[in-house]
Amino acid sequence: MSRTAGSHGPATLAAIRKAGLRLIYEHGYEALTLRRLAADVGILSGSLYNHIKTKQDLLFTLVRNHMTDLLANLDQALAGLDDPVAALAAFVRLHVTYHMERRYEVYIANSELRSLEPENRATIVAMRERYERQLIEILDHGVAAGRFRVADTRVGAFAIIAMLTGICTWYRPDGPLGPEEIVRIHTDLVMQGLAG
């Protein structure tokens, strides 16, 4: 196989990550072969090692990049929000929107956590816990202020995240509802469920 014209450095690495994301989403991590990945990118199999160390390195990078982006977006969405109701609405908007736009990344981060080696898994779990903690803190603040009613904010946070993440299983960009309407429905459901 000949090298794809213009495929070098950062462009090739981006192509490898994009193809890896799609192939893992479609076939699963275990079924992914580096030969297939190289063929999809248009490079020789041995050339992959100029860009990734191993298949595990690729998976970890994809999941870590997803979590890094999610956390950065959440930090930005919550910046300057002291009111727990406003913060919760921002959390819901960010989570639902991100999960509609980044379905491949979300699916892989959830379904292939089991495929990460222990050290890599521990890193990702710590990042997930940081994300969950931010929602727990919002709920704690809302309960303390008398704005939310929830018996256990940790359980409440897990329930909210599970409900919101479910969008990955049914959302279609060509569906009857637009993103704004979907965000509004989810926000209403969460707020009504926590009404104090």
What pLDDT sits at residue 6? 41
- Within 8 A by CB and 6+ apart from 8, the residues are none
Classify residue 2: in a domain, yes or no.
Answer: no
Between CA 51 and CA 140 the distance in angstroms is 44
Last residue of a domain, one of 19, 34, 52: 52
* Same domain flag for 114 and 143: yes
* Same domain flag for 163 and 95: yes
% of the chain at pLDDT higher than 70: 95
pLDDT tens-place string over residues 15-34: 999 999 999 999 999 999 88
Residue 158's domain is classified under what CATH number? 1.10.357.10
For residues 121 and 8, the model is more confident at: 121
What pLDDT sits at residue 43? 87
Between CA 65 and CA 155 the distance in angstroms is 27
What pLDDT sits at residue 52? 86
Residue range of the domain that includes 151? 56-194
Classify residue 4: in a domain, yes or no.
Answer: no
123 has a pLDDT exceeding 80 = yes
pLDDT tens-place string over residues 37-86: 988 888 887 788 788 888 999 999 999 999 999 999 999 999 999 999 99
| pTM of the entire predicted model | 0.87
8 has a pLDDT exceeding 70 = no
Single out the residue of 71, 66, 78 nearest to residue 137, CA to CA.
78
161 has a pLDDT exceeding 90 = yes
The number of distinct structural domains making up the chain is 2
* Same domain flag for 74 and 102: yes
CA distances from 94 to 78, 82, 89, 164 (A): 9, 17, 9, 10
Single out the residue of 139, 186, 143 nearest to residue 158, CA to CA.
139
Mean pLDDT calculated for residue range 154-183? 93
Between CA 68 and CA 23 the distance in angstroms is 21
Classify residue 3: in a domain, yes or no.
Answer: no
- If you average pLDDT over every residue of the chain, what do you get? 91
* Same domain flag for 45 and 62: no
